[in-house]
Amino acid sequence: MAVLGGTERAAKVRWSLINIVVLVYALVPVLWIVSLSFKTKETLTDKNFIPREWTLQNYADIFTTNQFLRALLNSVGIAVIATLIAVVLGTMAAYAIARLDFPGKRLLVGVSLLIAMFPQVSLVTPLFEMERSLGLFDTWPGLILPYITFALPLAIYTLSAFFREIPWELEKAAKMDGATPAQAFRRVIAPLAAPGVFTTAILVFIFCWNDFLFAISLTSTTSSRTVPAALSFFQGSSQFEDPTGTVSAAAVVITVPIILFVLFFQRRIVAGLTSGAVKG
């Protein structure tokens, strides 16, 4: 017993150490940015982890420049619209994949997998050319469209895992109770799929929110530049001023909501990501 307890404690200690190493490795850069965002211009480069002089000036600065607010509006607008459309389309596609046997079903699943795996970098130049000739370059739709394209496979995958877990007999029961297919979907299937749809929406939103590649390549002005791209255009008030403080503050502003969101809905997201795997 004592021996067993001893090895158990040793294992615990070992795991705790590993956890701490991983946490530190992952969190230090994030905390560093947080720390930078609270530092004054003079102490920015003092290499202290904890700011010696705390200031909110960087936050005040970004919220008084049009540049950041406009980018924030673009980010929210583009991510929300892309998420809505991707989730609606994904729901319909996933429902069909989970429930119906139609010719080309495997092909559809395969192609959507292919899209998810396609290196996005290789598409940037063609997309740039296409959007320029279509007049979509540097517009909201110019970002929303590629986001939908690359978010859909993710949406379809998570959602079809959820749909597969809703017993088909419920739908049959609804039909027997006198429901049209549309009523059965709206009153029985949709309420049950809601947690899955919600999880998918969060995942898709994060994907759109965090994107840098398309945001930097397919925009040229503040009219559609999202925050991740706008950050790289931040400048100090003079050529000699270092914008690190404001960039850090902006990074914190767009990251913290996501972190809180994920922490808050962690269980749901994990359930959503693994539900297909666990229950076949």
Partner 1 sequence: MAEIVLDKVSKRYPDGALAVSDVDITIADGEFIILVGPSGCGKSTTLNMIAGLEDITGGELRIDGQRVNERAPKDRDIAMVFQSYALYPHMSVRENMAFPLRLAHVDKETINRKVEEAARILDLGQHLDRKPGNLSGGQRQRVAMGRAIVRDPKAFLMDEPLSNLDAKLRVQMRTSVAKLQRKLGTTTVYVTHDQTEAMTLGDRVVVMRGGLVQQIGSPQALYEQPVNLFVAGFIGSPSMNFLPATLADGQLRTPLGAVPLTDRIRRLAEAAKAPREVIVGLRPEHFEDAALLDEAELGAGATFTATVEVMESMGSDKFAYFLVEGETATSAELDELAAESGSAEMTDGGAQIVTRLSAASSIKEGDEAEVWFDPDKLHLFDPSDGRTLTHSD
Residue 48 is a binding residue for partner 1 (CB under 8 A): no
The nearer residue to partner 1, 138 or 171, going by C-beta atoms, is: 171
The nearer residue to partner 1, 44 or 192, going by C-beta atoms, is: 192
Residue 179 is a binding residue for partner 1 (CB under 8 A): yes
Selected binder of partner 1 within 31, 111, 170, 270 (CB under 8 A):
170
Residue 188 is a binding residue for partner 1 (CB under 8 A): yes
Kindly report the number of other CB atoms within 10 A of residue 57's CB atom. 15
Residue 105 is a binding residue for partner 1 (CB under 8 A): no
Residue 178 is a binding residue for partner 1 (CB under 8 A): yes
Which of positions 110-139 make contact with partner 1 (CB under 8 A)? none
- Which of 182, 156, 184 is closest to 168 using CA atoms? 184
Residue 87 CB, nearest distance to partner 1 (Å)?
20
Backbone angles phi, psi at 41, to 5 degrees: -60, -35
Residue 8 is a binding residue for partner 1 (CB under 8 A): no
Residue 106 is a binding residue for partner 1 (CB under 8 A): no
Residue 186 is a binding residue for partner 1 (CB under 8 A): no
Task: Select the span of 10-18, 32-40, 166-174, 218-226 touching partner 1 (CB under 8 A).
Answer: 166-174
Task: Select the span of 2-10, 142-150, 152-160, 188-196 touching partner 1 (CB under 8 A).
Answer: 188-196
Task: Select the span of 35-43, 122-130, 137-145, 182-190 touching partner 1 (CB under 8 A).
Answer: 182-190
How far CA 168 is from CA of 124, 165, 198, 201, 265, in Å, comes to: 42, 9, 21, 24, 27
Residue 180 is a binding residue for partner 1 (CB under 8 A): yes
Residue 268 CB, nearest distance to partner 1 (Å)?
16
Residue 101 CB, nearest distance to partner 1 (Å)?
8
The nearer residue to partner 1, 54 or 168, going by C-beta atoms, is: 168
The nearer residue to partner 1, 15 or 168, going by C-beta atoms, is: 168
Residue 101 is a binding residue for partner 1 (CB under 8 A): yes
User: Residue-wise over 168-187: b if at least 16 C-beta within 10 A, else e?
Assistant: eeebeebeeeebeeeebbee
Q: How far apart are CA 164 and CA 192, in angstroms?
A: 11
Residue 173 CB, nearest distance to partner 1 (Å)?
4
Task: Select the span of 7-15, 70-78, 110-118, 187-195 touching partner 1 (CB under 8 A).
Answer: 187-195
- Footprint of partner 1 on this chain (CB under 8 A)? 101, 167, 169-170, 172-180, 183, 187-188, 191-192
